[in-house]
Amino acid sequence: MNTPSLAQSPLQYNFYGSSCPQAESTVRSVTEGIIKNDTTMGAALMRLFFHDCFVRGCDASILLDPTANNTQVEKKAIALRGYDAVNKIKAAVESICPGVVSCADILAFAARDTAVVSGGFTTFDMPSGRRDGVVSKLFDVLQNIPSPILKLPDLINNFAAKGLTVDDLVTLSGAHSFGQAHCSVFNGRLYPTVDPTMNATFADALKTVCPAPGTSGADPNLVAGKVLFVSDQQLMNSTYTAAKVANNSADAATWMGQFAAALVKMGSIQVLTGTAGQVRKYCNVVNS
């Protein structure tokens, strides 16, 4: 088992070793079942974790539903999947250790397990001790989540603001290989003319799934990854990042180790610990 470094992190490994020793194995078991039933859920859970950590830190604020007092929560800003899956995992954990394991930690464990189940990773440790936030704002998403159309310098700055390096950026971008993207994200690279940096054969295949906007038969279905996001393609516009991408592609084992370390690092962004925040009973609502 790989145990990434916890330098400068307030979290700790095996946080629930005494209070809920079956927590991580329960999350793993339920996550495996969810992904076995729907293989796309691995990508959904990984994306949820990324969005959660980049907005207000890894505090499960992405999971909160709108309320009468706050209709504009984070989950209203962008279409994401996996909320029901997280609720299912949380319910399983609550059944054995009520009120102990935070939703933020459950999401982190599920993201780790996604890498193992969907990505073929050797299992690695994910630190815990996160607490759940009580604030969720749509505007925070717009301010913090990197747009798919960002150029490389802006993308680097976006990650740097979260304490992540260029190497972390390139390494974590490989997670798109777990995932899928909506046609609307990359139609700008297909129409009215194909982006010259996109493989022509691949572009033709995409056009059969995603016709030009405004034409009949536009298919909203998801299409498989490769390098669909403009921000991903931007990694090829720098000698350093392009070389890093090539190295990651050529040496999957090394990339997996680096990805595990980068995921743990990302999972420490602005976490709530100690008595800050709360441990939600249900992930979609704050405790009453």
Residues annotated as catalytic (active site), given as ranges = 51
Residues 122, 44: Cα–Cα separation, whole Å: 20
Residues 232, 155: Cα–Cα separation, whole Å: 10
Write the CA distances from 39 to 32, 117, 140, 180, integer angstroms. 10, 9, 30, 11
Q: What angle do CA 45, 127, 77 make, to 5 degrees?
A: 35
- 225-263: burial string, b at 16+ Cβ within 10 Å, e else: bebbbbbbbbbeebeebeebbeebeeeeeebbbbbbbbb
The answer to the question of whether 61 is labelled as a binding residue is yes
Q: Which helix (H) or strand (E) holds 26?
A: helix 23-37
Q: Which helix (H) or strand (E) holds 240?
A: helix 239-250
DSSP state, 186?
Answer: H
The answer to the question of whether 52 is labelled as a binding residue is yes
What is residue 17's three-state secondary structure? coil
The answer to the question of whether 59 is labelled as a binding residue is yes
The answer to the question of whether 17 is labelled as a binding residue is no
Q: Quick check: 86 and 51 in contact, CB under 8 A? A: no
The answer to the question of whether 55 is labelled as a binding residue is yes
The answer to the question of whether 154 is labelled as a binding residue is no
Return binding residues for Ca(2+).
Answer: 52, 55, 57, 59, 61, 219
Return binding residues.
Answer: 52, 55, 57, 59, 61, 146, 176, 219
Return binding residues for heme b.
Answer: 176
Return binding residues for substrate.
Answer: 146
